A and B are shown apart, each in its own frame.
Chain A
Amino acid sequence: MALEEKDVRYVAALAHLELGADEVKTFLPQLDSILEYIQKLNELDTTQVEPMAQVTYPSRENPALRSDQPRRTFGQDESLANAPEGAAGCFKVPQVIERE
């Protein structure tokens, strides 16, 4: 097993998930088996293959670029329609101080 419980807790923290001790034990082997599967792919020799991140890769042209023409989309009310809390045209969230 390559993963440890602290790795599971770290990944959960990044995703803002709170896991109980039981859950950490449940997810550890599951995550580990995914990584193991990826390890298996590593057995293939890909030294001669260009890395690919998107299926459309590589491309010489950009057929899907947009022209810089504004279009009216949502107004304030529509933007906020799904917000659990809002006021003064803004979304309201629990107080946060600073990022990072």
Chain B
Amino acid sequence: MSTGTPASAEVLSKYEAVIGLEVHVQLLTKTKIFCSCSTRFGDPPNSNTCPVCLGLPGALPVLNREAVTMAMKAALALDCAVNPRSRFARKNYFYPDLPKGYQISQYDEPLAEFGRIEIEVDGARKRIGVTRVHLEEDAGKMLHEGFADSDSRSYVDLNRSGVPLIEIVSEPDLRSPEEAYDYLTRLKTLMLYLEVSDCNMEEGSLRVDANVSVRPAGASMFGTKTEVKNLNSFRFLQKALAYEIERQVEVLEGGGTISQETRLWDSREQKTHGMRSKEFAHDYRYFPEPDLRPLAISEEWKEEVRRSLPELPQARRERFVREYALPEHDATQLTATRELANYFEEVAKATGEPKLAANWILSELTFLLNEANRDISQSPVSAPNLAGLLVLIQKGSISGKMGKEILAAMFASAKTANEVMAEKGLEQINDTERIIAVVREIMAANPKQVEQYRGGKTATLGWFVGQVMKATRGQANPPLVQEILKKELS
């Protein structure tokens, strides 16, 4: 453990962290990877099981084609080379969540290799290598707490046994917790765009382990690494990495050495703990899975999958900047999920005002969504309805301030802007007589400005329009106001 004296920023800066991430992503197939049991989350324990995923003797696995397709989508989107032939292997170990006594995974011949993800570090692009993407089955779930006999018994639910996973392994290219966070964010966004996973960390469909080591800044040799597990949120990832880096620096500064081990992040204590000493070293005795044929990926299949890929986040972000003249920052935020990007594009197209659309979506609408703890796909204000509101604002029919009020009401009621305005008595004034009356009143109260206008300073027209709109609480029809003003002023 640590030597007790916390490493100062100065001491920390003498070291460089080296981080690699192993990310497990649960695929969104309807059935498990090697049997036809449902993958639905939250069903009663052990109700989605069969001889294959219970590991009963004689049962044979049959590979799910869709799992391969989804894994291939992820691999291609990560710029990996998909191997024309890959192979499944048995990873042997004993644990009650693994009824067969081995996990079917891939080992020396993975589905895909040599990919990358581009992250951003201090405004510059940095390429993080993806070593490999491979397919494997998930294990069941252990319940260690919550039962009367939990002090002596563990409970096992095998619904998750056999759910398809891909493991995405990065190169040790990450140099800080922030870089790791950015990498994981982009990886998650990519998986969401591809619709191959819901990446729900609480339900365990996105899991992260990190390999961490430190070395003197500028050194080329790697230090001894530890593997940090139990990083089940983005926040934990950053905290755990920061903690582990500091811990390793403290050990080295204190003259100690890092022992290669697996450590668990304890979010309550905000510490990593070494796991209990193992009875023996890892020895998974991998060997080729004799019950499955090697997996052959034809060029045709691969190209078919490639053609099915949607526009990916980075390409879409760049297009948003180019096509809609959005600032980089807006484009990044708007492309965080496919749903949000679609929503934006619908509003931008319907209004012809992309920047206005971006502003309202990223500020007012996001605020309302956050407050209601909803995401964009659950927005009570549909894209056409938001567009309808923005058109009114853009035409000057209503002020921005009124727009905010109306949007809040639209959010609460799921009604259109016009419906809300009618209900609140905010509908537009199209009555010529009423507007003439207001115009004459304003002219009478501002003889100097009338004089200026008549003297040729026609630019003051805008000021008059503003005064009329103010007097009618933004309800007067602006083009009509202009028309009447011109007539009355001349």
Contacts and interface: CB of A to CB of B under 8 A. Distances in A.
Nearest to B295: A62
Interface stretch (B62-70, B330-338, B357-365): B62-70
Contact of B29 (A16, A57, A68, A93): A68
B293 A94 contact: no
Contact of A66 (B65, B92, B275, B287): B65
Nearest to A67: B65
Nearest to B282: A100
Interface in B453-472: none
B94 A16 contact: yes
Contact of A89 (B30, B38, B47, B64): B47
Interface string B50-84: 11001000000011111110000000000000000
Contact of A90 (B35, B156, B296): B156
Given A62-B63, A66-B62, A89 B294 contact: no
A44 to B, nearest CB: 20
A85 B152 CA distance: 13
Q: What bracket does the count of chain A residues touching chain B fall in?
A: 35 or more
A13 B280 contact: yes
A2 interface: no
A66 B65 CA distance: 6
Given A68-B29, A97-B144, A73 B276 contact: no
A92 B62 contact: no
A94 B154 contact: yes
A91 B29 CA distance: 26
A40 interface: no
A75 to B, nearest CB: 6
A67 B65 CA distance: 6
A87 B142 contact: no
A70 B38 contact: yes
B30 A54 contact: no
B147 A95 contact: no
Contacts of B85: 58
Contacts of B165: none
Contacts of B156: 90-93
A88 B143 CA distance: 11
Contacts of A89: 44-47, 157
Given A59-B294, A76-B44, A76-B46, A10 B147 contact: no
Interface of A: 10, 13-14, 16, 53-54, 56-62, 64-71, 73-76, 79-80, 85, 87-100
Interface of B: 29-31, 35-38, 44-51, 54, 62-68, 85, 87, 92-97, 142-144, 147, 149-158, 262, 264, 275-276, 278-280, 282-283, 285, 287-288, 290, 292-296, 298
